[in-house]
Chains A and B, each alone.
Chain A
Amino acid sequence: MISRIIHRPSDVGGRASKFFIPLFALVIVAILLAACQQKIPKEALQLSPDSLDRRQLQTRVFDTTDETELISASAALLQDLGFNLDESEVSLGLVVGSKDRDATEAGQVAASLLLAVLIGAAVPWDEKQKIRASVVTRELEGRNGYALRLTMQRIVWNTQEQISRTEPLDEPEIYQEFFGKLSKAVFLEAQEL
Chain B
Amino acid sequence: MASETSSLVREIRKQPESTVVVLAGDIDLNHSPSLHSALVDVTSERPKRLLLDLREVPYMDSSGVGTMVEVFRRVSAYKGKMVLFGMNPRVRSVFEITKLDRFFTICDTEEQAASA
A binds B: no
